[in-house]
Amino acid sequence: MTTPSSSGPKPPQHAVAVTLPVRVKSLETPAPPSSPALVSRARGRADHPLVVTIDKRSAARSVFSGDTVLEVELPVGSRVIYPRPPMEALKDVAAAVRYACNHPLKSDPLHAKLRPGMKVVIAIDDVSVPLPSMRRPDAREQVLTVVLELLADHGVEDVEIIIATSIHRRMTAAEVRHAVGDRIFGAYWPDRLYNHDAEDPKGMKTLGTTEHGEVVEINRRAAEADLLIYANVNMVPMSGGHKSVAVGLCGYESLRAHHNPRVMRDCWSYMDPASSALATSIERMGRLAEKALDVFHIETTINNRMFDAPLSFFHKSEDDWTGGERAAFKGLAFTLSKLPSAARQAIFQRVPSPYGVTGVNAGECEAVHEKTLEKSFAQYLVPVVGQCDVLVTGIPYISPYNVNSFLNPLLVQVMAQGYLFNFYRGAPLVKKGGTMIVFHPCTDQFDKEHHAPYIEFVHDVLAQTRDAAEMHHKFEEKFARNPAYVELYRKGHAYHPAHPFYMWYWGEAGRQHLGRVIVVGADNDYIPKLLGWETARTFAEALAMAKGSKRDPEITMLHVPPIVMADVTV
Amino acid sequence: MPASFFDVDGTLVHTNLLHPTVFYLTNQPNPLRSLGALARAALGGPRMVLAELVDRRRFNELLFANYEGISSDRLLTLADEAFDSVMKRAVYPGARDLVQRCLGEGHDVVLVSGALDFLMERLARHLGATAVIANRLDFKDGYATGKVLRPIVAGPEKARLVREWARDHGHDLGDCFGYSDSYSDVPMLSVVGHPCAVNPDYRLAKLALTYSWPVIHLGKRPAVESRMLERLP
């Protein structure tokens, strides 16, 4: 299994060579959903069954364009990469948590660390995972229930639960209740179950500085606890591991070490810790934290069952849709096209997903995370041979940063050049200088509370420069220290004022790699212009623009959601 | 270096200009004089209400006319008590933190208020603010004449005073911050680069929404209509 390397990320050319046939073989799934006719051997290469090649008989493909869905006709020969079917969920999660705590990896069992009178902090992931929220009981509730019982059995009464928001917005009471369940919420909220505050002048503690000058500063209560337990829900390979403590509980001083254009440009990709400068930096900081503290990690992995009936057809190739599913899609597309935006958001965001927990591992950070990554890659990776010239993808209604709010233009950018571009291992799915075609209305709309600092960022900072390095040096710190925005982060439900900058840096690797981004269906021209994108009214127009002088470009569609990662070899 | 300009009443404290005035009127040398002063103030009430609706400056003039005849000694002697019993306890939770954060970022913190200077100076000391722009009473032979010295700190005049203060102290207004709860302070908020609505009234909340100004609540639960506004896309 690939583990994070301390020697720094590899450039993509090297990364291409590390894709191991053995690993690919282990990910083979039984019975792919596509029809045999569509599993072609285009351009003389053998594609994985989940990589479907379009032919004359292929159905139109469904894509998300924000909170609407569309059908697009891809040219014959185009490839469509589908997500793997959801992995089987554990039947008894509580038993798995108990087993993991009693049989931890490279650590004493949790019960052996407990003694009456000790101070324990349990940190949990925030509202940014999973997406959409998980149908109750959430994995956090299932882990906390077992852990809190164990603590009580061992006479540990001084327990506080901190939501590791880092500089994300504070979770609302309703969101916390959903994540931890009624019983735990009733017993702990708000005095012993609360959001992390990275700007509390007395609430942060510096643990030290790494040999690379990275300041490790985390939540004081967590730093001063006798035992810190981190309960993670692992949605993508980028999350968990050292990121839990070193990022989830940190503040602006620590984040600056790696959330900057220099580090972000050196990630190939974010989703592959071994090739990510971001992961390497976080790993150094996390190791320092683990040395200073007694941390017990509990990581859960979930499958990708994002949609339940009647929307479960999104998990399948359109060629395999039944008549009923095709009608359901048409009905959905029609209904969404007629509904106002608020109603469309409610339909998608208020319905939790039936995710299943696929694994629970506990113990020492790196040993646990290695197991987590195995599961995560097994769920998401689909082997893909060869890069493409044109990458096509829809941008859905949700990102980690707009739960219960609108996907504003900056987040549209981070979804395209950040997340979707980075859903690969090995080499980028699109060639250097290639084109990305995305579908989204790019509406100039923001949640005035959650994304208050984003508005000024988009309409002031971005209007002055798109150069990440320039905005980093010229604007970031001043912006991040704006007392009004910091107040909104601390007492309201706004993202920290540094966050919009990070969202721009998050797209930096994609921006540096891609030649152009063309957005189809934008309802205005100026937002795409601010983002540095071109616009097309139709997919055909976008395709014509993308083709340019290239006669027969390789076109690949990443069919999301649910999440899929391309394991690319060239 | 930026400066942060704070309106006071309704922004940092939940009192208004009436509260300290009532305190002074009820603390006259004897109960009879207190009664008389309160009665005169009550009689002038309707005019003040009308003035408040039309012109904030006129309202201030009418209100401070009630101080006529009070000695400067008495005003200053009672100032500590007036501050402790009226203003100090009315400071919003979070107000001090916000002021401290501004100071921590190296800002000059200036209280800009229609209230009287000797009370604002005490509030400034309590919060740690660096300067005060406030109304000053006119005195003759040690007694208040009931007039307010020009310029009267209210409405659009606040914007001019803020501009002048910033210029005199070498601040670029584009880097400065302004905080207020009231629509009447829109001129002041409009001259700074970073306006912020604090506990806003409905009209300011609506304006803040239109211009995407940040809206914060320093321990005060926002009115229902303001909350509805804030949730609008």
- Looking at residue A366, its pLDDT comes to 98
- Looking at residue B21, its pLDDT comes to 86
- Looking at residue A33, its pLDDT comes to 43
- Looking at residue B224, its pLDDT comes to 55
- Looking at residue B24, its pLDDT comes to 81
What is the arithmetic mean of pLDDT over B148-160? 93
Q: How far apart are CA B231 and CA A98, in angstroms?
A: 42
Q: How confident is the model at residue A10 (pLDDT cuts 50, 70, 90)?
A: very low
Q: How far is B182 from chain A (nearest CA, A)?
A: 17
Q: How far apart are CA B111 and CA B30, in angstroms?
A: 33
pLDDT digits (tens, 9 = 90+) for A88-132: 999 999 999 999 999 999 999 999 999 999 999 999 999 999 999
Beta pairing class for A516-520 and A534-536:
parallel
Burial class (CB in 10 A: 0-12, 13-18, 19+), A39: middle
A239 token code pair: 């999350």
Set of chain B residues whose Cβ sits within 8 Å of the Cβ of A483: 4, 98, 101-102, 105, 107, 177
Mark residue A171 as left, alpha or beta (left: phi above 0; alpha: psi -120 to 50; beta: remaining).
beta
What is the arithmetic mean of pLDDT over A134-147? 97
State the DSSP code for A474. I
Domain that holds residue B178: 3-231
- Looking at residue A43, its pLDDT comes to 57
Q: How confident is the model at residue B29 (pLDDT cuts 50, 70, 90)?
A: confident
Q: How confident is the model at residue B204 (pLDDT cuts 50, 70, 90)?
A: very high
Side chain identity, residue A338: K
Nearest to B4 among A456, A483, A491 (CB): A483
Contact between chains at B216 and A484 (C-beta distance less than 8 A): yes
Q: How confident is the model at residue A27 (pLDDT cuts 50, 70, 90)?
A: very low
On whether the CB atoms of residues B114 and B154 are closer than 8 A, the answer is yes
Contact between chains at A487 and B102 (C-beta distance less than 8 A): no
pLDDT digits (tens, 9 = 90+) for A276-303: 999 999 999 999 999 999 999 999 999 9
Q: Which residues contact B77 (CB under 8 A, 6 or more apart)?
A: none
On whether the CB atoms of residues A239 and A419 are closer than 8 A, the answer is no
Q: How confident is the model at residue A7 (pLDDT cuts 50, 70, 90)?
A: very low
Q: How confident is the model at residue A195 (pLDDT cuts 50, 70, 90)?
A: very high
Q: Is the dihedral of CA A536, A539, A544, A545 positive or negative?
A: positive
* Residue that has been written with the tokens 């299932």 in this structure: A142
What is the arithmetic mean of pLDDT over A503-523? 97
Contact between chains at B233 and A341 (C-beta distance less than 8 A): yes
pLDDT digits (tens, 9 = 90+) for A241-290: 999 999 999 999 999 999 999 999 999 999 999 999 999 999 999 999 99
On whether the CB atoms of residues B154 and B184 are closer than 8 A, the answer is yes
Active site residues of B: 7, 9
- Looking at residue B228, its pLDDT comes to 60
**Could you give the domains of chain A?**
33-82+307-352+386-569 (3.90.226.30), 98-302 (3.40.50.11440)
Set of chain B residues whose Cβ sits within 8 Å of the Cβ of A485: 214
The mean-pLDDT minimum among A25-29, A383-387, B51-55, B93-97 falls in A25-29
Q: How far apart are CA B112 and CA B72, in angstroms?
A: 22
On whether the CB atoms of residues A304 and A272 are closer than 8 A, the answer is no
- Looking at residue A20, its pLDDT comes to 34
Q: How confident is the model at residue A8 (pLDDT cuts 50, 70, 90)?
A: very low
Q: How far apart are CA A302 and CA A89, in angstroms?
A: 8
Q: What are phi and psi of A222, to 5 degrees?
A: -65, -40
ipTM of the assembly? 0.86
Residue with the bigger pLDDT between B53 and A313: it is A313
Residue with the bigger pLDDT between B67 and A82: it is A82
Burial class (CB in 10 A: 0-12, 13-18, 19+), A451: buried
pLDDT higher than 60, residue A21: no
Contact between chains at A487 and B98 (C-beta distance less than 8 A): yes
What CATH number does the domain containing B169 carry?
3.40.50.1000
- Looking at residue B119, its pLDDT comes to 95
Q: Which of B103, B192, B216 to mutate to test the interface with A (most CBs of A within 10 A)?
A: B216
- Looking at residue A45, its pLDDT comes to 66
Contact between chains at B94 and A341 (C-beta distance less than 8 A): no
- Looking at residue A29, its pLDDT comes to 44
pLDDT higher than 60, residue A155: yes
State the DSSP code for A319. G
On whether the CB atoms of residues A119 and A111 are closer than 8 A, the answer is no
- Looking at residue A26, its pLDDT comes to 35
Closest residue in A to B206 (Cα) is: A448
Closest residue in A to B227 (Cα) is: A449
pLDDT digits (tens, 9 = 90+) for A328-368: 999 999 999 999 988 998 888 888 999 999 999 999 999 99
Q: How far apart are CA B184 and CA A39, in angstroms?
A: 69
* Distance separating the N- and C-terminal Cα atoms of chain B: 34
Closest residue in A to B210 (Cα) is: A448
Nearest to A406 among B94, B230, B233 (CB): B233
Residue with the bigger pLDDT between A218 and B40: it is A218
Set of chain B residues whose Cβ sits within 8 Å of the Cβ of A487: 94, 97-98, 101, 216, 218
- Looking at residue B227, its pLDDT comes to 59
Question: Cis omega before residue A409 (within 30°)?
Answer: no
Q: How far is A483 from chain B (nearest CA, A)?
A: 6
Q: What are phi and psi of A538, to 5 degrees?
A: -130, 165
pLDDT higher than 70, residue B58: yes
- Looking at residue B16, its pLDDT comes to 84
pLDDT higher than 70, residue B225: no
Taken as a whole, chain A contains a residue count of 570
pLDDT higher than 50, residue A2: no
- Looking at residue A551, its pLDDT comes to 79
What is the arithmetic mean of pLDDT over A73-89? 97
Residue with the bigger pLDDT between A239 and B26: it is A239
Residue with the bigger pLDDT between B53 and B161: it is B161
Q: What are phi and psi of A425, to 5 degrees?
A: -130, 150
- Looking at residue A257, its pLDDT comes to 97
pLDDT digits (tens, 9 = 90+) for B165-185: 999 999 999 999 999 999 999
Question: HEC string of chain B?
Answer: CCEEEECCECCCECCCCHHHHHHHHHCCCCHHHHHHHHHHHHHCHHHHHHHHHHCHHHHHHHHHHHHCCCEHHHHHHHHHHHHHHHHHHHECCCHHHHHHHHHHCCCEEEEEEEEEHHHHHHHHHHHCCCEEEEECEEEECCEEEEEECCCCCCHHHHHHHHHHHHHHCCCCHHHCEEEECCHHHHHHHHHCCEEEEECCCHHHHHHHHHHCCCEECCCCCCCHHHHHHHHCC
Residue with the bigger pLDDT between A38 and B76: it is B76
Nearest to A483 among B105, B212, B233 (CB): B105
- Looking at residue A345, its pLDDT comes to 87
Query: What mean pLDDT, rounded, does chain A reach?
Result: 92
- Looking at residue B51, its pLDDT comes to 79
pLDDT higher than 70, residue A30: no
Number of structural domains (chain B) is 1
Residues in B lying within 8 Å of A, measured between beta carbons: 4, 94, 97-98, 101-102, 104-105, 107, 177, 179, 194, 196, 209, 212, 214-218, 230-233
pTM: 0.90
What is the rounded (10 degree) CA torsion for A506, A507, A509, A514? 170
- Looking at residue A443, its pLDDT comes to 96
Percent of chain A whose predicted confidence (pLDDT) is above 70? 92
What is the arithmetic mean of pLDDT over A63-71? 96
